[in-house]
Amino acid sequence: MKNIAFLALLGLTLASCGGDKKEAAAEETKTEKPGDPSAKTTETGEEQEKQPTLATLSPAEQQTAGIRLGDVENRVLSGVLKVNGTLDAPPENAVAVSSLLGGIIERTTLQQGARVRAGQVLATIRNPEYVQLQQDYLETSSRLEYARANYARQEELYKQEVAPQKNFQQARADYRALQAQVAAQAARLRLAGLPIGGAMATTAPVKAPRGGYLKTVNASAGQSVTPTDVLFEIVDPAHLDVVLTVFEKDVPKVRNGQTVRYTLANDSVGTNHQAKVYLIGRAVSEDRTVRVYAHLAREDASRLPGTYVRAVVETNSATVPALPDQAVVQFGGRPYVFLVDDKPAPKGETGFRMVPVVTGVSENGYTQVTLPEEVASAKAKVVTAGAYSLLAKLKNAEEEE
């Protein structure tokens, strides 16, 4: 009987222990259940403790770190479109020079890049047709003299009623027809650069229609040329345009009157030139781009056509909250700023709290920022200089822990 009672008591004890273990396991399982807000809060608190966001500096440390405070400003910033392009002369400033009748180039001494003035002789061309043109003019001029005299004679006879009217009308028609022929032949001689009357010339000069620089020279002594051959190309760099290459998908963002800021390859760091969009191409090229033309804000004759430029087009402007670029620091792939902590710090020190922000457009040393909703931007004092010194202090504090 004693053995039976002992075994019964032992069974009750084991059952009681098993129940306690199940209740403990169940309680433990309930505490670590995924999705529990209290668990998340604890975990977030631990992460925040691992990543400190508050740095305190004494007045001496602030002076050493170059800390300067400021407010979030409302500034006009522009959205920009980055493009490439070249400087080029508009059609009225670029001239292709050809020979009116062609022939054999007898002489030319100019090279590419040479400066020429309007009316300067670029080359001399020899052509037997020049002689024929002058001969035709002289013969027609002689016939015109006879026709003028006959017209005067027939007019006088008609007035005296000695000759019939039709003779007078025929003489007048012949005289006027020869007048037209002489005028046309003289115009051809002028276009060819040949003298009108006088000694016969076998050569004609090719002259520059305007001043500028020789962009292309396709002429050499002894070369046979036709009227369709371009012998010289003259570019006047007194006025150039910025010709931009804009991808097809970005064309709707571009409008006439927008500001273009561009830099040249030989510009120093930070140098910017400006232009204004005045024409947007209406054809898409094979590489799916459209040409956009902009007038320079300031002309410079030293610039060369064809120079490569890097440019940004200011597609829109808006007044947005902004801070100096040096006020925004990058940490962990995200942008942050430092605000003066509103809680009092010990021993006269000042606390600076690092808060995440959302950045936007950057222009002229300022960046658009959006502070967290719980921060009143109107009252927030922001570190505008020395922000990276505070970030370094936070990192050092984290490493020491």
- Tell me the pLDDT tens digit for each residue of 92-141: 888 999 998 889 999 998 888 899 999 999 999 999 889 999 999 999 99
Q: Which helix (H) or strand (E) holds 398?
A: helix 387-400
Rounded to whole angstroms, how far apart are CA atoms 33 and 17? 24
Condensed to tens digits (0 to 9), the pLDDT of residues 74-100 reads: 887 777 788 999 999 888 888 999 998
Q: Specify burial of residue 293 (Cβ count, 10 A radius: 0-12, 13-18, 19+).
A: buried
| Beta bridge mates, 245 | 84, 291
Q: In what order do the strands lie in the sheet with 121-126?
A: 203-207, 121-126, 103-107, 224-225
65, 114, 166, 176, 184 from 181: Cα distances, Å: 91, 40, 23, 9, 5
pLDDT tens-place string over residues 327-379 = 999 988 899 999 988 777 777 788 888 899 998 888 778 888 988 887 766 67
Residue ranges per structural domain of the chain:
50-76+319-400, 80-92+237-317, 103-125+202-236, 128-200
Q: Give pTM, 2 decimals.
A: 0.56
Half-sphere exposure of 21 (CA within 13 A, CB side): 6
Is CATH 3.90.1300.10 the classification given to domain 103-125+202-236? no
> 1-5, 34-38, 236-240, 271-275: which has the minimum mean pLDDT?
34-38
The topology under which CATH files domain 128-200 is: Helix Hairpins (1.10.287)
CATH class assigned to 50-76+319-400:
mainly beta
The CATH code for residues 80-92+237-317 is: 2.40.30.170
Q: Mean pLDDT for the chain?
A: 81
